[in-house]
Amino acid sequence: MKYLHTMVRVSDLEESLDFYCERLGLVELRRKDVSAGKFTLVFLAAPGDDSAQVELTYNWEPEEYTGGRNFGHLAYAVENIYESCQRLLDGGVVINRPPRDGRMAFVKSPDGISVELLQRGDPLPPQEPWASMDNAGSW
């Protein structure tokens, strides 16, 4: 038995790829357009970590997606949590839970999927502007 992927639905594929790839740093592994079913599947993974994937399902005739509390978040270890958050911030992504502790941060995808970032290894020393940045919204 082996974990393959977590699937999330997205209402705007370009906006979602911008978030998951350009801002968060995942890479696209493969894509499947299914015209009969009017949907597109895009498989993403952290670079070099292809064995654990996120599958984006984009229905061409979109529904509105309301977040359910039963699903919590996707979590990734990152090399430098400040650099990861800076890239997200520069890309216009709200840092809902800034890494004040040099260890943990939360952001949300365009469809409200929470993504947790965790510093690999020991926490980094506290650093501005993160150390004094307030929480924003929920995650």
The binding site for its own copies (CB under 8 A) comprises 1-10, 25-26, 45-47, 49, 51-53, 55, 57, 63, 65-79, 84, 111-113, 116, 118, 120
Nearer to its own copies, 84 or 107 (CB): 84
Nearer to its own copies, 108 or 130 (CB): 108
Q: How far is the CB of 22 from its own copies (least distance, A)?
A: 14
Do residues 111 and 65 touch, judged by C-beta distance below 8 A?
Answer: yes
Q: How far is the CB of 85 from its own copies (least distance, A)?
A: 13
Nearer to its own copies, 13 or 25 (CB): 25
Which residue in the list 61, 79, 116, 128 is annotated as catalytic?
116
Q: How far is the CB of 71 from its own copies (least distance, A)?
A: 3
CA-to-CA separations, 62 to 38, 55, 109, 133, in angstroms, rounded: 10, 17, 17, 35
Has 28 been annotated as catalytic? Answer: no
Do residues 100 and 124 touch, judged by C-beta distance below 8 A?
Answer: no
CA-to-CA separations, 133 to 26, 80, 100, 120, 128, in angstroms, rounded: 25, 18, 7, 21, 8
Active site residues: 116
